[in-house]
């Protein structure tokens, strides 16, 4: 009898200790992976194909299953939002994705969100989400430069790093992030700079941090307005106005600008040379279009950094034009659409470009 009592007591103590140990093990972060297609979901004809392949082929469940190490970092569940190549992203895709991200961010059990995306317009989507999704939870956009079938595939590590960043409490409050090639970038600053290397994404002012062997290392934080400090809200945006980009170059004419407005553009981004310069034959057309109510925003086609100075090259005050500050043409288009959907005039539009 005493032996049975001692056995039961030992069993009880062991169970109590096991329960205590289990209680001390923190629950894994809950991360939702939203898949939209792109190269990270692509497949080539052979392992030697790193630049020739079909994008948007692998579904989200296979993406997750292909990286079993994800389970060591977080409890990951996936949703297939789209299955497209990112050059085909439309304004409607941006709104649909933004509203889904916002809805997930409101769920208390969700700790972070990862979005797999094609690299061609990844920077535009990341910036859009950073402007319109009101959350301090980590939202990470990730892609790959090579398909999963390639010998040098980069998608699996990029995805693992993205989930690592989305799972980290240190990532909160830093806006929408882009994780590529072991680097953590601000969605506002980053751009695709080359199309055949894995280190394709660069920020003019440098990355925010790095992911090395499963740990995040931070070196700076964004200072421009984003997410919770943004005046914009995805839930209030019903549609995005048409904003188009006209390129500046030698021997430029005003044909593109007039054609865009004829097709409904509410604003034009002038992707100018140098400091957003406007060729003499184009200036009269832009002034005329501004008089018709079209917003004119001077940006620069230069690569690698810098910004457009107001009233340099052109008398912006006199013409009632706006400058994009350090935003490249594609980022300027995103911000202009969001601001105009909010009812901005030229003065508030210029303020927005300086604050965001």
CATH number for the domain harbouring residue 262: 3.40.50.40
Number of domains in the chain: 2
Residues 164 and 307 in one domain: no
311 found inside a domain: yes
Residues 208 and 249 in one domain: no
20 found inside a domain: no
Q: How confident is the model at residue 58 (pLDDT cuts 50, 70, 90)?
A: very high
pLDDT for residue 152: 87
pLDDT for residue 2: 52
The SS3 assignment for 303 reads coil
Full residue range of the structural domain in which residue 334 is found = 241-355
- Which of 206, 229, 252 finishes a domain? 229
Share above pLDDT 70 across residues of the chain, in percent, rounded to a whole number: 93
Whether 119 sits among the annotated catalytic residues: the reply is: yes
Q: Does residue 92 surpass a pLDDT of 50?
A: yes
Residues 110 and 144 in one domain: yes
pLDDT for residue 303: 85
Q: Does residue 95 surpass a pLDDT of 90?
A: yes
Q: Does residue 14 surpass a pLDDT of 50?
A: no
pLDDT for residue 350: 98
- Which of 205, 229, 253 finishes a domain? 229
What is the average per-residue pLDDT within 124-136?
Answer: 98
pLDDT for residue 18: 47
22 found inside a domain: no
Whether 39 sits among the annotated catalytic residues: the reply is: yes
Residues 259 and 281 in one domain: yes
Q: How confident is the model at residue 3 (pLDDT cuts 50, 70, 90)?
A: low
Residues 69 and 211 in one domain: yes
Residues 138 and 196 in one domain: yes
Residues 186 and 80 in one domain: yes
Residues 45 and 185 in one domain: yes
Residues 182 and 37 in one domain: yes
Q: How confident is the model at residue 54 (pLDDT cuts 50, 70, 90)?
A: confident
Residues 293 and 218 in one domain: no
152 vs 271, residue with greater confidence: 271
- Give 160-188 pLDDT, tens digit per residue: 999 999 999 999 999 999 999 999 999 99
DSSP state of 54: B
Range of lowest pLDDT (36-45, 114-123, 230-239): 36-45
What is the average per-residue pLDDT within 261-276?
Answer: 97
25 found inside a domain: no
Q: Is 120 annotated as a binding residue?
A: yes
353 vs 52, residue with greater confidence: 353
9 found inside a domain: no
Question: 223-262 as b/e, with b when 16 or more CB fall inside 10 Å?
Answer: ebbbbeebebebeebeebbbbbbbebeeebebebbbebbe
Please write down the long-range contacts of 285-294, taking CB distance under 8 Å and 24 or more positions apart: 285/254, 285/257, 285/258, 286/254, 286/257, 286/319, 286/321, 287/319, 289/257, 289/258, 289/261, 290/319, 290/320, 290/321, 292/261, 294/261, 294/265, 294/266, 294/267, 294/268
pLDDT for residue 214: 96
CA distance 291 to 346: 12
11 found inside a domain: no
Residues 107 and 53 in one domain: yes
Q: Is 316 annotated as a binding residue?
A: no
Q: Which of 177, 152, 149 is nearest to 163 (CA)?
A: 177
Q: Does residue 46 surpass a pLDDT of 90?
A: no
Instruction: List Cα–Cα distances, 232 to 34, 110, 165, 176, 320, in angstroms.
Output: 22, 22, 25, 14, 24
What is the average per-residue pLDDT within 270-285?
Answer: 97
Residues 183 and 258 in one domain: no
Element (DSSP H or E) covering residue 329 = helix 329-341
CATH number for the domain harbouring residue 65: 3.40.50.1170
**Please, are residues 173 and 228 in contact by the beta-carbon 8 Å criterion?**
yes
Residues 6+ apart with CB under 8 A from 126: 117, 141, 176, 177, 178, 187, 188, 190
202 found inside a domain: yes
Range of lowest pLDDT (17-31, 59-73, 291-305, 327-341): 17-31
What is the token pair recorded at 25? 């093990």
pLDDT for residue 6: 52
Q: Does residue 16 surpass a pLDDT of 60?
A: no
2 found inside a domain: no
From the candidates 36, 119, 149, 216, give the one annotated as an active-site residue. 119
- Give 190-229 pLDDT, tens digit per residue: 999 999 999 999 998 999 999 999 999 999 999 999 999 9
Q: What is the pTM of this model?
A: 0.91
pLDDT for residue 275: 96
CA distance 266 to 78: 37
- In which residue are the tokens 């097709």 written? 263
């Amino acid at each position: 009898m005493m032996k049975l009592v001692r056995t039961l007591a030992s069993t009880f103590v062991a169970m109590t200790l096991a329960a205590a140990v289990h209680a001390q093990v923190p629950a894994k972060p809950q991360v939702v992976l939203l898949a939209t297609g792109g190269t990270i979901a692509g497949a080539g004809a052979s392992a030697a194909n790193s630049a020739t392949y079909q994008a948007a082929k692998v579904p989200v469940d296979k993406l997750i299953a292909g990286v079993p190490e994800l389970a060591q970092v977080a409890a990951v569940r996936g949703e297939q939002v789209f299955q497209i190549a990112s050059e085909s992203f439309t304004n409607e895709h941006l709104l649909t994705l933004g509203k889904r991200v916002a809805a997930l961010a409101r769920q208390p059990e969700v700790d972070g969100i990862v979005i797999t995306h094609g690299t061609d317009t990844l920077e535009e989507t990341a910036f859009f989400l950073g402007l319109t999704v009101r959350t301090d939870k980590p939202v990470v956009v990730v892609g790959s430069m090579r398909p999963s079938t390639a010998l040098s595939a980069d998608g699996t590590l990029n995805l693992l790093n993205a989930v690592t960043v989305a799972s980290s409490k240190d990532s909160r409050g830093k806006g929408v992030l882009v994780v590529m090639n072991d680097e953590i970038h601000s969605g506002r600053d980053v751009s695709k700079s080359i199309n055949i290397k894995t280190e394709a994404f660069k920020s003019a002012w440098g990355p925010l941090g790095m992911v090395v062997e499963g740990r995040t290392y931070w070196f700076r934080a964004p200072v421009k307005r984003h997410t919770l400090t943004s005046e914009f809200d995805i839930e209030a945006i019903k549609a995005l106005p048409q904003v188009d980009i006209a390129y500046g170059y030698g021997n430029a004419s005003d044909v593109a600008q007039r054609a865009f407005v004829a097709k409904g553009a509410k604003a034009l981004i002038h992707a100018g040379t140098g400091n957003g310069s406007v060729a003499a034959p184009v200036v009269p057309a832009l002034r005329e279009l501004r008089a018709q109510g079209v917003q004119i925003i001077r940006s620069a086609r230069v690569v690698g950094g810098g910004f457009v100075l107001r009233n340099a090259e052109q008398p912006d005050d006199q013409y009632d034009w706006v400058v994009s500050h350090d935003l490249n043409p594609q980022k300027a288009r995103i911000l202009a659409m969001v601001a105009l959907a909010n009812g901005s005039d030229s003065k508030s539009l210029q303020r927005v470009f300086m604050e965001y």
